[in-house]
Structure formats: structure tokens, C-alpha cells
Structure 1
Amino acid sequence: MNASPFSNPSRVFEDLAQARKQPGLTWSEVMKRWVVSRHDDIVTALHDPATFSSRPTVPDMPNHVLEAFSGKVPLRGTLIGHDNPIHDRLRAAVNTFFMPRRIARFESWIEAQAHALIDAFYEEGEVDFRARFSSPLPLKVISHIVGLDPDRSDVYFKALQFFSSPGPEKLQPLIDFHDEAMAAIEARRYRRHDDLMSHVWNLRDSGEAEMDDFEMLSLFPGLMLAGHETSANLIVMALTHMLARPGVYETAQAGNASRSRAIEEALRFEAPITGMPRRVTCPVNLGGTELKPGDEVFLAYASGNRDPQYYERPDEFDVERSGTQQHIGFAQGIHACLGAPLARLLLKVEMRVIADRLPNLRFGKAYEDRQYLPVREVRALVDTPFAWDVTDEGRAKAGRHPKPSEIGNDDGGMRGHVIARRKVATDVVEIVLAADAGALPAWTPGAHAEIELPNSVIRQYSLTGEQTDNGQWTVAVLREADGRGGSRLMHDDLPVGSKIRVRPPRNHFPLSGEGPVLLIAGGIGITPMIPMLAAAEARGRHAELLYLGKSRDGMAYASEAQARGQDRVTVWPAQEKGRFDLAARLSTVSSDTTVYCCGPERLIQAVEQACEKFGLTCRVERFVPARFDDSTNEPFEIELRSTGEVLPVGAGETILSVLGRRGIFVQSTCQQGTCGTCEVGVVEGDILHRDSVLTKEERAADDTIMVCVSRCAGKRLVLKL
């Protein structure tokens, strides 16, 4: 090992390789910390935040800075600077926003912004690529997503430089930035948009996120700093490696799938984060070294990503690398990179736009002459000159792409409005929706719609009423006194003419099969049953409806249901008739009947138990996730829908690890259910949800699972793999 290891940035990987071979941890005089270099030891520390505190990631400020920031700038303005319980409480407010399938709606906007930046410098033929493209693009993107003005990103950049190189002249710009962010937060309190600030407000209003305004302010600066700095450095380092190896750049740019593989290899080979510090809170042995409280370690992610115990040919850059071993470029555990899904999306778009706009791209200096900034948490090149051929074809592309201001966030939604509303029972209002242009999508009985209300609150409701070709939707909403605010808004603040957005309907509760059906509805659970009854009758199936409720005046559509025939419809208000004997009713049902149930959890459980007792097929739709005993893990099986192959999952295993052992790669980052990267669709089976990213409605739907932590609540899950 070098006489002064970790002092030469060009030799840091050699120093880390030597450290991995040494017994115990390696002390670094440069960092004044123990360097944790082996993959297993790094992951152990990442998943033990109680022992390895992240507080050293945000250094303490001197007194004059504390005085200047008092009441204006949160002192730990990034999630990674917090330990639990504060960390998880604050992160819960932003986790769900960054799930891959949700963040994908920004792709078109990101692409438009990338083209706009290249339009500005294309004719020059060579630029400092980080200064002109790879740094301003992610900062514009994260500014837009947070809820700030992307056209002021250069101002935000100067303000955020305080964190990397603090100085007295940078205090006021940072304070001004926080003032602007707080003003935006206050504006979103009353007028919501499709951005992160509005998302946090929605969760605060619903009671799902607990924080004050100053804590809310602390969420954004660190996210903006890390969100642009890491992406800015990764893309230029990745491009230098690709362009220096014959044919590799062309292989990587063959398509979106190859770009994604190349990005993952770049994150493994040379991530923009070399590692992060932690402070020991109690006596512990890590990697054979005894550590005491107050000791600090440096978790060298870059070293773990080249550990030969986990990766074949670890020092080779291979954009076609195969295998199921996850890299730790985004870390793991509770502090896994919050913006990893956004970073992956951004980098993929960057690669695609670069391929389209910059022909014959090349690094502006010899590969072996590239230089790096001193060894620290961030890994970055000193100079990033890139050149390309300026052609007539390239000139013709300038200005021909949509401007960012012309692009909305593409989530498949449609704009619509309320065309009618009426009271259909005590505390139940029926609302009819229509599209602003054209018709709302067709739907099938049992489907639910996702509706974005004027304040950007999103709620899901079952579609009801007659199926027609008029392109309108009808929902019925129960006022919930202890709910999260959506039903109150639907009842009190959504008059005819109100503007809404809707997303295409999804159906997790379809009417299937050919035999007779018994529909059991409890309370507002009648909404999907009305169209299901009509559909069953239209198909010539014998169908009966049992509608249970507390009082007749609180039972929506009771008279409409009764009008379909006394012999097939039973309306049972308990205040008039007493408690209904479900077991007795189900004991008389023929074995070829499928029972459908929607309503309160107590009713659903009673129906499930009775159907199991009498051997009946039962399908249910819940308003809230089912509750299962998660005190112990039980073994279960997973079935791959594409092949029918069945794999056992032991009590001490995760679905992710079992899939990996079988050679099936599912991308994952945090391995703790906090990022949403490992989401897999579920065709059949009950899920024991243990993630922190799915909404209550998504959990109740039981059609998607985070395979790094969640499990089967029964015997088998059928996965969309």
C-alpha cells in the first residue's frame, strides 16, 4: 500500500484494493477515519444505522454561521444528516414521490430541457460538458420537480455552493435561497401543483406526514445539491470510460435497455460517491476491528463495488455485464439515495439525447491524462472537455423539439370537470365526471378511477352506475369524518364545473368466470356491485345481491338495487332488521357460485371465513390493506407467471434474494422497502406489505409488491415475471 494511502485520487482504487486484502479496517490519515473497504462490512454498517450514525455527513457549523442561519436555514438541511426517529418521519413524506413508475411522468419534460441546453451550444463544437450540460440539466430538473423555478437554477447553484466550499460571501445567497424556497412552500399551502412541495403538503394535510414548516424546508436544499452534483459527475465519468474503449459507446447507445445497463455498470465501476462517513455510537466489531463510541468510519461504496467476492472481473468496465448482484453505488438501508429512480431516468434521457444530437462525440483530452479532484465523498473529474462534429443535419435539429414550458408531466392523465352531482344517501354524494375534450376512457365493472382534485390531492374511487358509451364516469363518495380529507373536499368543495384530472381506470376486482355469482356489499361497497350485477345479468349468469348497511337512509342506491327484483336483491338495514346471519346465508350457496364482497374490513373477513368453511370461491375488494400477523416470517412459494416455475422462499429469505439466486435480475437500491425500485406486479395471492412507499389504496389493491422486504401472507404469490 502507498505510504500515504487515499491521498492520490488517481490511485484510490488501487489503495482500496490493498485495503480489502488487509485484516481488519484500514486507518486513513487523510480522512482521519477507519476505511471500510469490503462489501460485506459496508452493507453491515449501512443496515445498522443505530450503531453507525450518519451525523458526520453534515459537519457542525461555526458560531458565526449558526447566528446567521438562526431561524432561516435548517442546520441539518438533508435527510442523510438525520438519524432515527427523525429520519424516517421526514423521509416518509417524500419516499412515495420518487417511485420509478411515478417519477416517469417527468421524462418528456427532462428530454425537452436537455434539447434546449444543447441548442444553446451545439454550434461551438466543444464545451466544458459539465459546466454547460451535465450540471445545469439535473439542477433544472430537480428545481422543477421540487417546485421552484428551473429558469433560476443558476442562482440556486451559486447558493448551494456554500455546502461544498463554505465562505462568508456565500452566506447571504444561501439565506436568500431558503427564503425563496419557504415562499414557494407557503404558496403551495393554498395552491397545489404536480411537484414535491405539493406532495408533501398533501401528506401533511392528510395526517400521513408529521412535520412543521421549518422541517419541510429542510427537505429540499440537500436533495437539490445531491440531486444535481452526483448526476453531473457520473455522466461525464461514464462517457470517458465508454469513449476510451473501442465499440463500447456504440454498444451502450444501441437502445434504452442498453443505456440502462451501461448506467448501472458506470455506477458500479466509478460511482460519483466514493463513500460516506459514519460515527460509531456503541462498542462494535466491524470487519475484525474493535470500534468504540465516537470513532468514525468511511464506508467506501466504491471499494465494495469492486470486491472480487461479489463481482467477476471487478476492475473491468463492461457495459454488457450480466448477473444479479446489486451494486451499492446508491448505498442501501434507510439512507439509500432517495433520488436514485430520478437519477436513473435522468441519465437514460441524457444518453438518448446525446446520441441524437452530438455525432462523433469524443473526450477533449487523452483518457490517461484525465485528472480527479482530491479524495473525498464525491468523485469528480477536474476537467470535462467534450467535442463533436457540427453538421448540417445537426443544425437542422436545433429548435425543433418542444420547449420545456410546452411540456406537461406525462402520467397518462386527462383533464376533466364535474358535470353533475346529487345526494344519494346520508353522507354519500354522487358525482358525474366528463373529459374537457373527447371522452373519458371506457371501463369494466369492478374498476376504480384515480382522481386528482383541484388541490392536487389524489384519491381512488370505484366507478359505478350504468355502463354507457357517453364517455362519462360516475363515482359515489362517503364522507369520512376520520379520513384524510379527500371525501370532505368531494362533498364540500367540488361543485359542478370544478376542474379535475383523472388517470385511466384499473380493475383489480373484475367479474370473471361463467357460473352464478353472489354479490355482497357493505355500505359504500355497493358502488362496484351495481354495474357488476347489471353485467352478470347481461351475460345471462344467475346473480344475486346482498346489500348490508346500518340504516336505510345511509344506504346509497338501495331503491335502485331493490328495483331489480325482490327475488334476487336483498337490502338489509341492520337498524330495522337486526344483524344478518352471513354464515346461514352462505351455507345455502351452491358450490359453483363465486362470491364477491366489497365493504368494511370486518364484513370482508367474515365473508372470507365463511367461504373457506363452506368451500366457496371468494373474491374481495378492500378499502384498506388487509392486516396480517407480521411478528414472524413463514415460508411460502412464488410462481413465475411467464413459465409457471415455482420457487420456495424460506422464512429467512427475501423474494429478491430467491429471484437473484435463480438468475432473475430485479433492480433494487435500498433493500429496505423505502425506494420503490424493486416493484414487481402480483397476479394472485395475499401480500404482507412491509414497504414504506405504496399508498393505502395501492396496498389494498394487492397487485404490486416490493420484493426486497414484503412477503406472502398465505402460501403462494403469482408474480408478473
Structure 2
Amino acid sequence: MSPQGTCPFTSPRSLFGDLATARATDGLPYAEPFGARVVSRYDEIVQALHDPDTFSSSATVPEMPSPFREMFAGRVPSRGTLLGLDDPDHDRLRAAVNTFFMPRRLARYEPWIREQAHRLIDGFVEQGSTDLKASFGLPLPLRVIAHVVGLDADRAEWIGAALGFFLGPADPHPGTPEEKAQRLLDLHDHVLEVMAERKEDRRDDLISHVWDVRDSGAVEMTDFEMLSLFPGLMLAGHETTSNLICTGLSHLLADPARYAAAQRDDTSRAAALEELFRYESAITGMKRLVTRDTQLGGVRLQAGEEVFLAYASGSRDPSRFSSPDALDLDRSWAVPHLGFSQGVHACLGAPLARLLLRIELDVLHERLPDLRLAVPYEELQYLPVSAGRGMVALPLSWTPLPVPERQPTGTVAAPAPAAALPVTVAARRTLTADVVELTLTADGPGALPDWEPGAHIDLELPDGALRQYSLCGRPGTGELRIAVLREETGRGGSAAVHDQVRAGDRLRIRGPRNHFRLRPAASLVLVAGGIGITPLLPMIEEAEHRGTDWQLVFLGRDRQRMPYVDELVARHPDRVQVWPSRELGRFDLNGLWSGLPAEDGYVYACGPEQLLTGLEDSARAAGREAQLVLERFAARPTSAEPNRPFEVALARSGTVVTVGEDETVLDAVNRAGAAVLSTCREGTCGTCEVRVLDGVPEHRDSVLGLEERLAGETIMTCVSRCRGQRLVLDL
């Protein structure tokens, strides 16, 4: 509780006592420092976080005051961070960056981050003491986030000074408000310059990634909206991480045995960090605007009121965490902490923060022997109570050491994006009234990559957009063939091919890639719906070569609009069944299974979603799901059917758990001790991703790209489920 005679929530040292008092108080008490009613209990915070329609995030980012609002107009986005946006804009824009921040993708930055940490420590290791916040805690995260975004890390100090405008009176950088505003304008102009460069010269950074997503047609946004993503992300990405390393180390070093336990290895460091995020996060909480009359925690709230969701309080709620005010490095993760929030606004950079902090702990432990607090823990000063939580400084001491001669590791380059291959349209052929075939060649013998039946390429269109098309020629011929259906309701890619691409044109491709490979089998049934015939054509050739027994069922509305149909019937009259529905009616998909052996046989299918969904239903009814292989070029719509129970086997332990219809895979496996991390619990952050060893996941996340969804090799355990009866996970 606050010291006698002081108002609640004004003393940073008493914050958690004040929050405990609020949890024990009926209703939602008003707190002057937050300017809102405080929501302090875990379940009520989570309820609000997962109901963004009622609890709007617009209150998180205040409107820019005059005269800066007028000064920034048209140059600095007024809602320059995802935190302050609601749907539909929030989900649309976040979709452009979600996939970049998945943990397994960020791992490529570890050598570079580690080298930057060593370089900073080289600057003070011989002194034997430092304010770690100033010398390490602030500069390293800023360098990292600048580099990841795509800016020059050596300009990090200038970037930090420009971002300091957003900190208001807490900004430590010198200058008048007008001078600070000009620095921010200069930063936005610089980001626009880098955006223009990356549009033509893609690299391994976030700005290039967003251009790739925009070019693919997956997300529509303006250049100004794209600009809005980066400065706010850089501000949040270095301020919070700086505070986390300082508060976390202060608690670990207050007890040398605890520090030693946390620093045993990478596993112990990761576990310790999760408990530190729970115990004292860098975010006290955030505001929400109530958009409609509602109830929360038994309190009636009116539209227009604001509430403060106190994440720090929820993470110490005794109804959810045993001994919540104790630091327990062996604590179970079955109940997720709120250190990075939850829901659609869960911290986008949480995976990067986890990676960076683990590296920081490791390098500090390696380089600074006998590391200790330079003053008693009780004398450490906290910043004033606010939405953020941090320390003024962290003075540390250690046994001084000379700077060692090290072989730099920062020169290790992150893997570059796959290079586009120039090709020439050697021929163009009209197959039907709405399908054209392109034959593509590359300069020089052997210039085209090898491929197998089922593969597809990304075709870069004249406007830079990317579209995926199956290869329908023969491997090893020195050319690639694709067939393109004109889709009037599509995103414009097929229309561009039909209207603009001609023989002799120069284009670029990426790939090939293949998640539709032909498996060895004694018997095959190939099912094509319209243009879905394209990936099956090379499979027919391969089946003939292998001597495999095969049949093709070719479905379409009109025979005249079914590409390659006459050629197929002429070459394989006894193996091809043509079914134009306008003449013959609906085809009975259930009948496919009666002619397929129960073992050593597969149904391969490609076509419109209605066909593929029907095949999945018929395979499920026949108990033949394991024998169905599908090719999709669009994500399967989220199932509208009720959840069904299914089994999940944990391959490493041999444990089998049942996932009930009202629980998630994440909760079920963590109940069995799997210790899978999570943050958002809505499939937007990628933290809970687990490798799938067997079974077909039903993807309900917004993180995996189309290729990854179709491959089915991983699953976001917080939202996704199983299409069959059993999943085997690498746990």
C-alpha cells in the first residue's frame, strides 16, 4: 500500500500494494494517475482484452496537440502506431507485419544481436562499474530495432533522439519542443526515403517484408499507412526492452543464488525471463475506451468512459497465480501472464524482446564476472507511476577485465530473400475463352531450377505483384509452363496476365516450391476442378512413368471451358472421366472412395474451394482422411462447424491428451506439462507455434503465410485445431 498520507498509485515503490488493494475492492476504483477506473483482476482484464469492439484501443494513443498536429499534418501519421487503431484497420495493417515477428524467423538475427552486445560491453568492461541502463539497456535495443526495421544501426542515437518527442516531459534528450518535433519530422522523411529504396532493392528487413506483402496482394495499404508502422514500433521496441532488462536484472541480482539459477543455460534464462515478465513487466497497463454500455467486474460502464487495464495487477492475481508476490523461476506457464498483454493488441515485438533479452543475459553473464548491484536494491529508483514501468538507472559492479581479442560474429549475414529469376515468355497459347498458357524460358542452358510434379512458382507481374501458378509442363525440358484462368472477381493478377503479357515479354519468377508432391502409391485418383487440372498434368506423366494405376476425374461446368480436356481424352481415353456439370449434374464425390484401395492409394485434388471442402467432408465420412491430398492457392475458410474433441500426442514424452471442444491445444498440452509459451492467444503473434509431425491442422491463425498453411508443418496452438481425430506434435 502507499505510504501513509500519499494518494494511491503515486508511489512507484508501492504500486503493487496499491494494485492488490484495488483487486480486493469491490468495483473498479478510479485512479488519478491513470485518469480512469482501474481494472485489476486477471479475468476481467482478459475479458476486456478479447472484446476490442466494446473496449476500444483508441484511448491508448492520445491525439497530437496543437501546434504539432498542424505541423505534422500529411507528414507524421496522427495514429502512428497499431496500438491506437481498432478494426478493420488494425487487423489489415498488422497482417503486413505479423509474419515477420514469428520467433523462428527472428532467430536469424541472433548472431548480429550478439555481436552488438559484445561491442557495447567492450566500451565499459574495463571500468568495473556502469549504469547499465545508459550504457547497455537503452542503446542495444535501439540498435536492434533500427536494424530489424531496415535503418542504419549506427544512426541509432539520432533515431532515439527523434523518437524522444513521443515521451513528452520524460524525454531525456535536449532541445525545445519545436526542435524535438523537427527531429521527428526528419526521421519520418528518412523512413520514407528508405521505403523508396527498398521498393526497388529488397533486403532482409521489415520494410522490405512489408513491400513483399503488399506486392503479393495479401494486404492493401497506402505508403502513408506503411510509414505509420515503423516509428511507433521502434519507440515501443527499445523503451520497453530497456526497462525489462533493468528491472529483471535488479530482481535477479538482489539474490546471488537466484541469479546463478537463472544463468545455468539458455533454457533457464528463458524460464527466468517469463517469470520476470509476470512479476514486473515494462507495462503497468493500458487504457481502453468503452464504446457501448456494458458491465465489467459487476460494474456498469457507460459508453464514453475510459478504463485502465492493469496488466501488472492481473499477473499477480492470487486467484490465478500461487504465491503471486514471490519470484518463482520454476513456475508453470499453464496460466499465461499479461506482461505482453493478450488479444489482438498483444505486443507485436514480444518474440523479438524474448530473443534480445535472452541474448543480453547470456552475454552479460559471459563478459561480466561477479556481476552485482552497486547499491542496495532498496535504493534503486523507479520512474513515476504511469502506463510504463521502469527504473531511473541500474548501477552495477563487477571484477574489471581487459577487452579480449575476439573474432567478430556480426559479419554473419542473415539469409537473403530468394532472388527473382528473369524469364522470357517464349510462347502464349489460348486454351479456352478464359484460360491462356504461358511458356517461360531463361537465358542459358540449365538456367531454370529443377522441379517435381505438384510444384508451383510465384510470377512477378508487370506492376510488381506476385501470384502463384502451378507448373503444368514436364520437368527437365528447359522450359516452364503455366495456365492462367481469368478471374473477374480476383485481385487483378489474372487480368494483367491476359491483357498485358505477350510472347517476348520479360518477367521474373520465384521458386519453384512444392507442398503437393506426388507420394509413391500403387493407385491414384486425380480430381481436377476446372483450372485445377494444371498441377495434375505432370502427375499424370509421372504416374505413367512409374507404372502406377491412375484415374482422372475432370470436373467443370462446360466442356468448352475445361483446358486440356481434348488432349487428355485423346491420349488416355480409358483413364479420363470428364464430367461437365451443366450436362450431367452434380458429381457424387462419395463414390470416389469405393474404387480406391484402403492402403497404398491416394486421392489428389485441386480446384475451387467448394470442391475441396466437399472432398474433405466425404473423406471424413468414409474414414479416409489420411488418403486425401489437396492443393489450395487460397487459405481454407475458417470452419463454421462447432469444435470437435480430438487427441494430441506429445511425441517426445509419449503423453496423449484430449483437446475438448471448449479448450485450446495450448491449454491441453500445457496442462500435461508441455510448457508452450504464448502471448496473444488469438493467433496473431506466433509465440505458441509447434511443429506438426503427423495429422492435418485446421489453421485459424493470422500469422502463417499461405505456403505454410498449405504445408501443414506447424500449428499455432492457441487457436488452431485438427481436421481429423489426432495430431502428433513435436513436444
The TM tier, using the shorter chain, reads 0.7 to 0.9
Counterpart Cα distance in 2 of 1:77 and 1:611: 48
Deviates more, 1:94-103 or 1:327-336: 94-103
| Pick aligned residue for 2:276 from 262, 266, 290 | 266
**Aligned pair 1:63/2:73, yes or no?**
no
**Aligned pair 1:409/2:417, yes or no?**
no
Tell me the residue number matched to 1:18.
Answer: 21
| Pick aligned residue for 1:634 from 643, 664, 678 | 643
Contact 1:516/1:543 (<8 A) preserved: yes
| Structure 1 residue 416: Cα displacement | 7.2
Match of 2:684, SS?
coil
| Pick aligned residue for 2:524 from 510, 514, 517 | 517
Tell me the residue number matched to 1:429.
Answer: 438
| Structure 1 residue 213: Cα displacement | 2.7
Contact 1:425/1:554 (<8 A) preserved: no
- The one-letter code sitting in structure 2 at the alignment partner of 1:349 is I
- The one-letter code sitting in structure 1 at the alignment partner of 2:195 is I
1:334–1:609 CA distance, 2 compared to 1 (3 A): closer
| Pick aligned residue for 2:243 from 221, 233, 254 | 233
How is 1:106-255 mapped onto 2 (pairs within 5 angstroms)? 106-165=109-168, 167-255=177-265
| Structure 1 residue 277: Cα displacement | 2.0
Tell me the residue number matched to 1:81.
Answer: 84
Contact 2:427/2:503 (<8 A) preserved: no
| Pick aligned residue for 1:596 from 580, 604, 608 | 604
TM-score scaled by structure 2? 0.83
1:445–1:62 CA distance, 2 compared to 1 (3 A): closer
1:206–1:716 CA distance, 2 compared to 1 (3 A): same
Tell me the residue number matched to 2:632.
Answer: 622
How is 1:694-709 mapped onto 2 (pairs within 5 angstroms)? 694-709=704-719
Tell me the residue number matched to 1:277.
Answer: 287
Counterpart Cα distance in 2 of 1:273 and 1:634: 35
| Structure 1 residue 568: Cα displacement | 7.1
Match of 1:247, SS?
helix
- The one-letter code sitting in structure 2 at the alignment partner of 1:165 is G
Tell me the residue number matched to 1:658.
Answer: 668
Match of 1:386, SS?
strand
| Structure 1 residue 225: Cα displacement | 0.5
- The one-letter code sitting in structure 2 at the alignment partner of 1:591 is P
Contact 1:421/1:429 (<8 A) preserved: yes
Counterpart Cα distance in 2 of 1:585 and 1:152: 66
Counterpart Cα distance in 1 of 2:480 and 2:373: 58
| Structure 1 residue 231: Cα displacement | 0.5
Deviates more, 1:68-77 or 1:541-550: 541-550
Contact 2:457/2:509 (<8 A) preserved: no
Counterpart Cα distance in 2 of 1:29 and 1:693: 38
1:475–1:155 CA distance, 2 compared to 1 (3 A): farther
Match of 1:680, SS?
strand
Match of 2:62, SS?
coil
Counterpart Cα distance in 2 of 1:106 and 1:558: 53
1:248–1:479 CA distance, 2 compared to 1 (3 A): farther
| Structure 1 residue 161: Cα displacement | 0.8
Match of 1:185, SS?
helix
* Deviation digits for residues 377-427 of structure 1 (CA, Å, limit 9, x no counterpart): 1111111233444445x5122xx2134xx443337x665745787448543
Counterpart Cα distance in 1 of 2:41 and 2:143: 36
| Structure 1 residue 685: Cα displacement | 5.1
- The one-letter code sitting in structure 1 at the alignment partner of 2:408 is H
| Structure 1 residue 85: Cα displacement | 3.4
Counterpart Cα distance in 1 of 2:131 and 2:313: 29
1:680–1:618 CA distance, 2 compared to 1 (3 A): same
Counterpart Cα distance in 2 of 1:718 and 1:115: 40
- The one-letter code sitting in structure 1 at the alignment partner of 2:104 is R
* Deviation digits for residues 318-351 of structure 1 (CA, Å, limit 9, x no counterpart): 3332341111100111211111112112222222
Tell me the residue number matched to 1:675.
Answer: 685
* Deviation digits for residues 433-481 of structure 1 (CA, Å, limit 9, x no counterpart): 89999997x877556678999999776666777777x9x9967464765
Match of 2:162, SS?
helix
Contact 1:191/1:455 (<8 A) preserved: no
Counterpart Cα distance in 2 of 1:461 and 1:105: 29
Counterpart Cα distance in 1 of 2:250 and 2:443: 52
The sequence identity of aligned pairs, in percent, is 45
Counterpart Cα distance in 2 of 1:448 and 1:113: 40
How is 1:511-550 mapped onto 2 (pairs within 5 angstroms)? 511-512=519-520, 514-522=521-529, 525=532, 528-529=535-536, 532-533=539-540, 541-544=548-551
| Structure 1 residue 267: Cα displacement | 0.6
Tell me the residue number matched to 2:343.
Answer: 333
Contact 2:457/2:510 (<8 A) preserved: no
1:443–1:501 CA distance, 2 compared to 1 (3 A): closer
Deviates more, 1:353-362 or 1:161-170: 353-362
Deviates more, 1:56-65 or 1:583-592: 583-592
TM-score scaled by structure 1? 0.84
1:395–1:283 CA distance, 2 compared to 1 (3 A): same
Contact 2:602/2:628 (<8 A) preserved: yes
Tell me the residue number matched to 2:49.
Answer: 46
